[in-house]
Structure 1
Amino acid sequence: MKRNAIDVSVAIMTHPRRRAEAEALAASRPELDATVVVDPDPEGPGNLHCAAAAWAARRPEATHHLVLQDDCRLSERFTSTVLDFTERYPHQALSLFTYWATGTAAALRTAAAAGCRVAEVRESYFPTVAAILPSHLADGFAEFVSDHEDLPEADDITMGAYLYWRGVKRLAVVPSPVEHTGTVSLAGNDYQGDRESVCFEDDADPAGLTWDAAEPDAISGLDPTRPGQDHGYRAHRNLPTRFFVAPWTHRHGAKALAAIGAEDAEATRDEAIAAFLESAPTASPQQLSSLWLAGFTFGADLTATPVRTYAPEGPRTPNRLPLDAAEAVKLLEEPVLGQSLRTTAKGLGAFADEPADTAALTEFYRAAVASGAAHSRED
């Protein structure tokens, strides 16, 4: 893939058991001229050695290198989106896929609300389902792996450590030009449920969103992989001090509502859950509580929490947050944000013993966002 000064080479990393899928992916997009890299240590405990080989497979003259895992589906606009993203952020590590139930997904939902397509990766690992590195970083990762012993066997964890060590900004994009195909995980990640994108590009037109990056001070999301707690949370960014502090503080349940001065909203939550259970008695009250909390706190932030934006070149596009309550509800009709609500509802529903109807869960989530946007509070 080439445009102006950008030249992106492509490798597809795969396990021998899934070589056919990788070759089919490469054949489906001949314009990528992708190299299929088969795991040199297929009996090993992780995919790190395969990833190192894939990152080392950069075409010598390429300015950037893209590595895809074999269980990817590429959007119709994949090539143009990759080149647009890389041209605007040529020195950063770029992730092209974000799982819906991550802090990065929550940041991207807020970015879309602010009118932006880009947000920083929130996790300590770096999502490697589909990622792009500048050439020197791609080459350096293979060297990093060969020079160090006892690295984590999962490539995303080791890549996160490598990029932190190199001081590289890590960015993600919405809508994602890559979707996960839902194949059985060779890395043991099936416990994460429906591992789809927060918003796949073929499902939502990004018209109206800029390529600026958003830096929210607060995000609201869900982590259904953590048992024994309310999965909904609100997190706020901590200011740096001369003492070490975690970059984000997470609050669940009543603590999340207290953080935004909305303790009295618990009664509203209980009423909404009871009404949903009347029509869907097999739905999980804990999941409904989690979804409502994430939606309510997201709505509250849309009307009260500013978001900083930045552009790699030129003036920033003024973002849209905060909004008044009516504007916040109208925002939910936009394609990217609307689709991200549906994927969240669908993904959470997949964790239930008897999954609830996605459309009904989406409306429940939307109503919670509207309730949070309309809530009167004193900050």
Structure 2
Amino acid sequence: MHHPSRDGAIGRVLDRLAPLAPRLVADPQPAGPRSPLRTAKRAWRAVAEGATHHLVLQDDVEVCEDFAAHLLSAVQARPDDAIALYVNADSPSNSYTVRHAAIVGAPWAALVPGEFVPTLGLVIPAHLALALADFLDTLPDDFRDDDAFVDLFCRLNDLPVYATVPNLVEHGAGLSAAGNDGHGVRRSAVHLPSWEREACYWDEPPAGDRGAPMRAGGSADPHYAISVRAATCVVRFLHATDVHPLRQPCAAWQLACAVTGSPVDSVLSALTDHLRTSEGTATAERTAALGVPARYLVELWAAGFLTGADATDPEKRPAPWPARPELLRRCRERAVDSWLDAGFLTAVRPMDRVEARSLLRAFALTAVDRGHGGPSTRSLS
């Protein structure tokens, strides 16, 4: 999907996609009202003759090294599903499905129905791509946002969407041609610019299905996601209603975390214990000197601890979890980094942010490990 305002940069994007042979589908009305949907209609119909699958990328993507090989092996592992190559770091629920998968070492995150399907990079079977194009053609261009209607199509056709972990695509840093510059960071929850996979990497299962309550015959239990916005940790509960497929009642973690199996006292006592160590004391003193408010440490610790506690169930952890420690370490670090971008560094001077990020990353990963080893009275798949 291409907007002519990016003619000067598209060549670099196309070069990174080799040995694939991408075709440009340009916005047919580039001077008109901004509408990703207008171009998406044409992009999803541009299926090559004889193709088994169809990939649509937006023209401001950054792809990982060896992108084509990663992509083809992922499609071979899940030939009947929709595969998202990117999930936004601040999406309400699906960013957590990706972070949780990164924490436990799973290669897939099952995305939650009812939340927009990330369309920065999406691949689906070719016959469904044409059906999606037919569906989108029924919508007026001024509906604008294609991702919400791709989600609706997937729900109507019972098409599950799985995200690759790590994400194979990152969002470029330029201005949005769709007018989405006010939508936050617009970066991937877990993207690695380069990484090596084992031959059977994509054959492993996802770590649970947080969207089960929204699926036909799915779990009736409440599921949850740990979310971070403006340096604040909250718990979102996911469940379906007759009126709307997805509700997200949201509460401060102190009010809701007991339902996750980790009472407030267990989170705070673990934090207190860590701050009494030499490492914890040094982190608190140095981050304070760099301008990080003390309450940010509490919120970041809660996010890490609750995520770690949510990974204690052996059923959520793929069997080969310890087999690739370097990839696991890098994915976990990136999952935490994308939290830090949600406001934790705003009070730090630009010249000090590299140091602050390093300190806060290590602090958050300690919280994950403490939660992972802590008590868990309830398991939600």
Deviations 1:293-339 (A, max 9, x none): 21010122222x45458xxxxxxx6475xxxxxx9xx8996332233
Distance 2:232 2:77 in 1: 35
User: In structure 1, what is the equivalent of residue 234 of structure 2?
Assistant: 233
Aligned mates of 1:79, 1:359 — CA distance in 2: 32
CA distance in 2, matches of 1:108, 1:167: 21
| Distance 1:241-1:251 versus aligned 2 partners, 3 A rule | same
CA 30–254 in structure 1, closer or farther in 2 if over 3 Å, else same: closer
How much has 1:71 moved relative to structure 2?
A: 1.0
Q: Distance in 2 between matches of 1:301 and 1:119?
A: 14
1:289 CA displacement: 3.5
Q: For structure 1, which runs of at least 5 residues remain unmatched after alignment?
A: 1-12, 310-316, 321-326
Q: 1:145 aligned to 2:136? A: yes
Name the amino acid aligned to 1:213: P
Question: Are residues 1:167 and 2:172 paired?
Answer: no
Counting only pairs closer than 5 Å after superposition, residues 357-376 of structure 1 correspond to structure 2 as 357-376=356-375
Equivalent residue number for residue 266 of structure 1? 268
Greater RCO (CA < 8 Å, at least 6 residues apart): 2
Aligned counterpart, 2:44? 55
Query: How many Å apart are 1:152 and its aligned residue?
Result: 2.9
Tell me: CA distance 1:99–1:216, structure 2 relative to 1, closer, same or farther (3 Å): same
2:106 is matched with which residue?
Answer: 116
Aligned length: 346
Task: Give the distance between the partners of 2:53 and 2:301, measured in 1 at CA.
Answer: 41
1:344 is aligned to 2:373: no
- CA contact 1:182–1:194 (8 Å) conserved in 2: no
Letter in 1 for 2:370: S
What is the alpha-carbon distance in structure 2 between the residues aligned to residue 337 and residue 177 of structure 1? Answer: 16
SS at match of 2:305: helix
Q: Where does residue 81 of structure 2 map in the other structure?
A: 92
**For residue 252 of structure 2, what is the aligned residue in structure 1?**
252
* 1:37 match: secondary structure: coil
Give the direction of change, closer, same or farther, for the CA distance of 1:205–1:24 in structure 2 (3 Å limit). closer
TM-score (norm 2): 0.77
Identity of aligned residues (%): 25
Deviation at 1:351, TM superposition (A): 5.1
Asked if the contact 1:116/1:319 (under 8 Å) is kept, the reply is no
Three-state SS of the structure 1 residue aligned to 2:309 is helix
Q: 2:20 matched to 1:32? A: yes
CA-to-aligned-CA distance 1:113-142 (integer Å, 9 cap, x gap): 444201111261110111112112211222
Q: Secondary structure at the match of 1:67?
A: strand
Note if contact 1:104-1:172 (Cα within 8 Å) is conserved in structure 2: no
- Residue 8 (structure 1) aligns with: none
Contact residue 101 and residue 109 of structure 2 kept, 8 A = yes
| Counterpart position of 1:4 | none
Cα distance change on mapping 1:14 and 1:307 into 2, 3 Å: farther
Amino acid at match of 2:340: A
Q: Judge which range, 15-24 or 65-74, deviates more.
A: 15-24
Which residue among 291, 294, 303 is the counterpart of 2:300?
A: 291
Give me the whole-angstrom Cα distance separating, in 2, the residues matched to 1:287 and 1:190: 25
- Structure 2 letter corresponding to 1:253: W
3-state DSSP class of the match of 1:20?
coil
1:72 CA drift (Å): 0.9
SS of the residue 1:215 aligns to: coil
- Report deviation, 1:188: 3.4
1:233 touches 1:253 (CA, 8 Å); kept in 2?
yes
1:65 match: 54
Q: 1:235 to 1:58 in 2, by over 3 A?
A: same
Secondary structure (helix, strand or coil) at the match of 1:214 reads coil
Q: Which has the higher strand share?
A: 1
**Gaps spanning 5+ residues in structure 2: where?**
211-222
> Could you say what the CA RMSD is over the residues aligned between the two structures, in angstroms?
3.4
Q: Which residue of 1 aligns with 2:96?
A: 106
Question: Which stretch of structure 1 is more off in the superposition, 338-347 or 131-140?
Answer: 338-347
